[in-house]
Structure 1
Amino acid sequence: MSSRLVLVSPAIGPALREARFYDGSSSVDQGGAARARAAAKALPEAARVMVSPGARCRDTAEALGLRGAVAAELAPLDAGRWRGRALAEVGAAEGEALARWLRDPEYPAPGGESVRQVCARVGRWLESVPEGRTVAVVEPEVVRAAVVHALGLPTGAFWRLDVAPLTATELSGRAGRWNLRLGHAVGGG
């Protein structure tokens, strides 16, 4: 039997709309929650459900009718002192550091994680996914990190992977060999 993993990105909310570094507390907005409720029956039955610890993933899971374990290893990329700040604000105040962080997968956000670190953390979790189907409601950067790891992509590809709100990305495999079904709208086929 193989492992089947459905990674669901959270519904839209203020932090995503405003291009803010996520601080874990911003939720989904009413429209995002309504879209998630409408898509609730579209997800496949799962042996287990995992949820990223951030509020918008927990709220999206609830709106989808999913109850699952919160998994610390599925936390969003830690942006350190940039948490909660708008991308434009950080760019204006710390443009050089932001540019280096976006360009160099080894360079951590000040007081936070590098892209390589989040890819390694999510990769370790991915290799521990048991057989059967798992649905995980996770931040877009967790989806990116899982795809980078699953396909053996260079970590520099991380920022080139777009993950739209409320989409599902499916991975299946066994013995460390993963196949990818590219993201699709939850409930949209």
Structure 2
Amino acid sequence: MTSRVTLISPAIGLALREARFDDGCPLDASGLRLAQAAAGTLRAVDRAWVSPSVRCRETAEALGLEAVPIPELTGLDMGRWRGASLSEVSAREPEAVALWMADPGSAPHGGESVREFCDRIDAWLTSIARTEGRSIAVVNPEVVRAVAVRVLRAPEPAFWRIDVPPLTATEISGRSGRWNLRLGQPLGGAQSRSARPPEPS
């Protein structure tokens, strides 16, 4: 039994353009147009999932997917930093930001640590390992990073070294929980802007 999952990062929105931690902002007009342009390019799948965030749900809808929201795919909980930019937080709490970037087990914002987040996504990977056929999931960029870290068994600091441009597809395929990884393919018909959000987006 082989499970094949395509992870699609959402189109661009205001939070990404302003380099802010996602606070529920919708897609902007440009991001919506790019997602709609890519709508007919996806291969047929057996099931579709989506992170519960606004921009992921709007991207899935623009792509023509009837996707089921999966709570386990919620983005990294940024606690009191949600909605702020990394530069704003760095100015207010430089020591906390330095700790957060250096220690994957820390959560000075009061939310979820990178380690806890990667563990949560890893548990989801385990749960879908025996899901046969093709699946697609529109997920926050940090979910893609966590998947890459766990699939490759990379050290957790690698989380910060993975760029996930808008509207790109990352594919994993596996049997009995052993995954292969194919990173960052642009969706057909969409000229995705390679913008790096704050860490994580």
Listed one character per residue, the Cα deviations across residues 93-134 of structure 1 (whole Å, up to 9, x for unaligned) are: 011101211121111142101110110001110111112111
Cα distance in structure 2, aligned partners of 1:88 and 1:171: 34
Q: Contact 1:140–1:163 at 8 Å: present in 2 too?
A: yes
The TM-score, its normalising length taken from structure 1, stands at: 0.96
**1:122-137 matches, cutoff 5 A:** 122-129=121-128, 130-137=131-138
**By how many angstroms is 1:188 displaced?**
5.7
Cα distance in structure 2, aligned partners of 1:93 and 1:102: 15
Cα distance in structure 2, aligned partners of 1:188 and 1:102: 35
Q: Contact 2:5–2:172 at 8 Å: present in 1 too?
A: yes
The TM-score, its normalising length taken from structure 2, stands at: 0.91
Q: Contact 2:36–2:63 at 8 Å: present in 1 too?
A: yes
Cα distance in structure 2, aligned partners of 1:103 and 1:132: 39
Cα distance in structure 2, aligned partners of 1:35 and 1:139: 17
**By how many angstroms is 1:41 displaced?**
1.4
Q: Secondary structure at the match of 2:151?
A: helix
Cα distance in structure 2, aligned partners of 1:127 and 1:141: 18
Cα distance in structure 1, aligned partners of 2:132 and 2:65: 19
Letter in structure 1 aligned against 2:153 = G
Query: What runs of 5+ residues in structure 2 fail to find an aligned partner?
Result: 191-201
Letter in structure 2 aligned against 1:91 = S
Listed one character per residue, the Cα deviations across residues 131-162 of structure 1 (whole Å, up to 9, x for unaligned) are: 21110000000000011111111111001010
Cα distance in structure 1, aligned partners of 2:132 and 2:107: 33
The equivalent residue for 1:75 is 74
What is the RMSD computed on CA atoms of the aligned residues?
Answer: 1.2
The equivalent residue for 2:9 is 9
Give the count of matched residue pairs. Answer: 188
Shift >3 Å, 4+ stretches? none
Cα distance in structure 1, aligned partners of 2:168 and 2:106: 29
Q: Contact 1:9–1:163 at 8 Å: present in 2 too?
A: yes
Tell me whether 1:116 sits opposite 2:115 in the alignment.
Answer: yes
Identity of aligned residues (%): 58
Q: Contact 1:82–1:109 at 8 Å: present in 2 too?
A: no
Q: Contact 2:37–2:189 at 8 Å: present in 1 too?
A: no
The equivalent residue for 1:27 is 26
Q: Contact 1:52–1:74 at 8 Å: present in 2 too?
A: yes
